[in-house]
Amino acid sequence: MIDLEEITTKDGTISLKSTKFDESFHCHGGALKETQTKFINPSLIERYKNKSIRVLDVCFGLGYNSALLFNKVISQSTKIDWFALEIDKKPLNYCLRNKAYRGLWDRKVIKIFESLRDSNYYSDDSFNCKIVWGDARKGIAEIPEDKKIDLIFLDGFSPPKCPEIWTLDFLHKLSMRMDPEGYLITYCSAAAVRKSLINLGLKIFNIKPSIQAKNIWSNGTLATFNGERNNQFIEKLSEMEKEHLDTKASIPYRDQNNNSFSEEIIRRRRQEQFSSRLLSTSYWRKKWGMTKSTFTS
């Protein structure tokens, strides 16, 4: 794998680092741990016990989010319609060759992933799965619009590295497919992404950090149309976070035709930020004692 390097995270699970994007697929604290705390816990999968759920996994990557989700639904007799968008098959190929990775999951999960690798599909009495390979901005057209999604995982590389999937325009396409009671969950707490979701009519919540420490204030963002009740893993935005949404960092990434190169998207945003009269992000950082390393704008 020319552009991918294996890493072992602190919880003992493996991940990959992309040399192209100069980013790892998971935080060094633990690939499996991150999946549990940032995606599965706030999803409240138990709501769908003995019911059905429809899921879209954007940027499937190594498959941790969906693998742990599949483990959960197998154990609670949930039927699932599942779709995924992913540009690169190499991470999945790597994982399916890795003994430690395979050992994390129910054997049925591995069977599903092998079918997705080989034919892009899997189907039985409980699972109906399809993965679309290629640019997510084009692939989303293959996700049915008439059947609304209960749960969207958005887990691509960070906005400054891969802005294509964080634009107001692509987020709009995702929101149009969401069930009114559905969740969009992402590790990202960038003001540009949060403000875009708000502008699309969604209510956003902070995913509570798993530890309390200075400058560790978020595990990500949960967005939903109808608000939220009784989810112990999320909280309303703090005053600090709300003010973040009034800075230049909140100016969205734009890609009106969903076909721009990342450099074009970033250049347009920088130009818009330059002419904006919103508060500077540096002022916000200084006021709240934040450092650049603790957040992504």
Residue-level pLDDT at 296: 44
Residue-level pLDDT at 297: 45
Report DSSP letters for 46-109, one per residue: GGGTTSEEEEEEES-TT-HHHHHHHHHHHHTT-EEEEEEEES-SHHHHHHHT-HHHHTTS-HHH
Phi, psi of 53 (to 5 degrees): -145, 145
Q: For the chain, which residues make up each domain, given as ranges?
A: 31-238
Residues of the chain falling short of pLDDT 50: 293-297
Residues 193/221, Cβ–Cβ less than 8 Å: yes
Q: How many residues does the chain have?
A: 297
Buried b (16+ CB within 10 A) or exposed e, 113-131: bebbeeeeebeeeebbbbb
Query: Kind of pairing, strands 178-186 and 149-154?
Result: parallel
pLDDT digits (tens, 9 = 90+) for 2-31: 789 999 999 999 999 999 999 999 998 899
Architecture of domain 31-238: 3-Layer(aba) Sandwich (3.40)
Cβ-in-10-Å burial (0-12, 13-18, 19+) of 262 comes to: middle
pLDDT digits (tens, 9 = 90+) for 203-242: 999 999 876 555 667 899 999 998 777 899 999 999 999 9
Strand ranges across the sheet with 79-86:
121-123, 127-133, 79-86, 52-58, 149-154, 178-186, 221-224, 203-207, 234-235
Residue-level pLDDT at 230: 87
Residue-level pLDDT at 217: 73
> What predicted TM-score, i.e. pTM, was given to this entire model?
0.95
